[in-house]
Amino acid sequence: MSTSRPLLGCIADDFTGATDLANMLVRGGMRTVQTIGVPAEMPAVAADALVIALKSRTVPAAEAIAQSLAALRWLQQQGCTQFFFKYCSTFDSTDAGNIGPVTDALMKELGVDFTIACPAFPENGRTIYRGYLFVADALLNESGMENHPLTPMTDANLVRVLQRQTESKVGLVRYDTVARGAAATQERFTALRSEGVKMAIADAVSDKDLFTLGEACAELKLITGGSGVALGLPENFRRAGLLTAVGEAAQLPKVDGLSVVLAGSASKATNAQVAEWKAKRPAFRIDPLALARGEDVVAQALAFADERIKNEPVLIYATATPDEVKAVQKELGVAKAGHLVEQALASIAAGLRQRGVRQFVVAGGETSGAVVQALEVRALRIGPQIDPGVPATATLDDQPVALALKSGNFGSVDFFEKALRYLDGKTA
C-alpha cells in the first residue's frame, strides 16, 4: 500500500536541528519536507515526513509548550501517526527547560504514558553510556558545551539533567539492554512503565544501537531525541508496507547569485571554521558592544560586503572565544547579547538578499532561526549532505534561495568553503 499522507510528524526546537533531522530521514529513504514554523497550508510536495522547525529551545517554557502543541496539532491534521520531538545532540537546555516541559506537554496531548529521550549521534561523536553523554572523548560538561552562550551544559548525567526539568519520573535504558536487541529493549520499556517511569534516557554508542532503539520504538506514538535515533525509524514504516516510494536527497534547483557566510555560533567548531576562513578570505567581525552602543554595525557590515561580494564571498561573524563571550555577557546580560547579535545578523541577511545574495551558509542554531525568519523562508527542500548533520537545502518557492544551516558544533574545519560549493550545485 502506498500512502500520500505523511507518516512521521516532527517538531524541532531549532532550525539547524530541523535540517539535521530532515537530512537523516532523507538518508533513510523518507521523502521529507521542512517548514519554518507552523505553515498556513501543507506545502504542495509529496512527503513521508514533515519537520516543523521552531525557535523554541531558549524561549520561556510556556512559550515553547504553546509553539510545540500548535505544531503537533497541525501535524495531526496532516495525518501523521507518529511524532518526534527533536532537540540537540548535546541536550542543550536549562534547568527550566525546555526538553522536559515540552515532552510532558506533548505526552499529555497525545495521551501517552511513556517515551524515550536519546540525543545520541555517534557519527558526530555524541554517545550515551549509563546515562552519561560524551562528546567525542569528553564528558558533555568538559566538551566546551559548558561554555555555551545560552545553554551551558554543566552536568553530563542526562537522567539528572532531565529530572531537573520535569516532575515526571525519569529512568534509564542501559547500554547492556540495548545491546541485547529490540525485544529486550521493549521489555525494559514495559518494566520502566510499571515502575511509573514516563521518560527514559536511552544509552547508545553506535549506529547499531540507534537502529535497535528505532525498531524498539516502532509502537511509541512519541519519540524524543537527536537526529541519530531517527536512523531506525524509516525501516519501521517500510516493514509495515507504508513506505513504498523511494525517497532520496532532492535534486536542488540551480540557484544563481552571490554568496555569503554568516556565523553567530561561538562553539569550538565554528571558532576553528572562522579562523580557517579568515586565513584566506575577507571577513567582518560584529562587535556586540558596538551594537549595544547603538553604532550602525549592520550598515558597516553591508558596506564591507558591498565592496567585495561581487568578487568573492565574505564572512560576517560574531563568533568569539568563551572568554570574549563571557565579557560581553557580563556587560550586557546573556539574553540581550544573544538577541542583539542575532538581530544584527538577521538584518544583514535581509540587506544582502536585496543586494543579490542567493546562497547563504549560516552557522548557529539560534542564528539560523533569526536569519531564516528575516529571509521570510517558509519551507525547505532537503538536498545532499555536506557534512554529517548538515544538508544543502533550497527554499520551496519560485525564486529559491540556497541555504546551509550548520549547527554550531558540526562540520569540518573547511566547512564554509565546502558548503558554498554544494550550494553552487557541486558535490565535491
Query: Given the rule CB under 6 A, which residues bind ligand ADP?
Result: 149-150, 264-267, 288, 318-320, 324-325, 328-329, 337-338, 341-342, 364-367, 407-408
Question: Under the criterion CB under 6 A, does residue 409 sit at the interface with ligand LB5GJZVW?
Answer: yes
**274: Cβ–Cβ under 8 A, 6 or more apart, which residues?**
263, 283, 315, 317, 319
Residues within window 59-88 making contact with ligand LB5GJZVW, judged by CB under 6 A:
88
Residue with cell 507504508: 242
The window from 93-101, 201-209, 239-247, 405-413 that contacts ligand LB5GJZVW (CB under 6 A) reads 405-413
Question: Under the criterion CB under 6 A, does residue 16 sit at the interface with ligand LB5GJZVW?
Answer: yes
When CB distances are held under 5 to 8 angstroms depending on the partner's kind, the choice from ligand LB5GJZVW, ligand ADP, none that residue 89 binds is: ligand LB5GJZVW
| Under 8 Å between Cβ of 171 and 201 | yes
When CB distances are held under 5 to 8 angstroms depending on the partner's kind, the choice from ligand LB5GJZVW, ligand ADP, none that residue 20 binds is: ligand LB5GJZVW
Residue with cell 568573492: 312
Of 386, 372, 373, which Cα lies nearest the Cα of 419?
Answer: 386
Work out how close the CB of 398 gets to ligand ADP at its nearest, in angstroms, rounded to a whole number.
29
In 3-state terms, what secondary structure has residue 29?
A: coil
| Under 8 Å between Cβ of 274 and 367 | no
Task: State the binding string over 286-325 for ligand LB5GJZVW (x if CB under 6 A, else -).
Answer: ----------------------------------------
User: What secondary structure does DSSP assign to 260-324, as a single string?
Assistant: EEEE---SHHHHHHHHHHHTTS-EEE--HHHHHTT--HHHHHHHHHHHHTTTS-EEEE----HHH
When CB distances are held under 5 to 8 angstroms depending on the partner's kind, the choice from ligand LB5GJZVW, ligand ADP, none that residue 328 binds is: ligand ADP
Amino acid (1-letter code) at residue 397: D
The window from 89-97, 178-186, 256-264, 325-333 that contacts ligand LB5GJZVW (CB under 6 A) reads 89-97
In 3-state terms, what secondary structure has residue 9?
A: strand
Amino acid (1-letter code) at residue 321: T
Work out how close the CB of 171 gets to ligand ADP at its nearest, in angstroms, rounded to a whole number.
28
Residue from 408, 419, 422, 423 in contact with ligand LB5GJZVW (CB under 6 A): 408
Work out how close the CB of 379 gets to ligand LB5GJZVW at its nearest, in angstroms, rounded to a whole number.
18
**Separation between Cα atoms, residue 278 and residue 33, nearest integer Å:** 34
For residue 285, which phi and psi values (nearest 5 degrees)?
-95, 130
When CB distances are held under 5 to 8 angstroms depending on the partner's kind, the choice from ligand LB5GJZVW, ligand ADP, none that residue 150 binds is: ligand ADP
- Grid cell in block for residue 40: 498556513
Work out how close the CB of 88 gets to ligand ADP at its nearest, in angstroms, rounded to a whole number.
8
Omega into 236 within 30° of 0, i.e. cis?
Answer: no
Binding residues for ligand LB5GJZVW, rule: CB under 6 A, are 14, 16-17, 20, 88-90, 92, 121, 226-227, 364-365, 389, 407-409
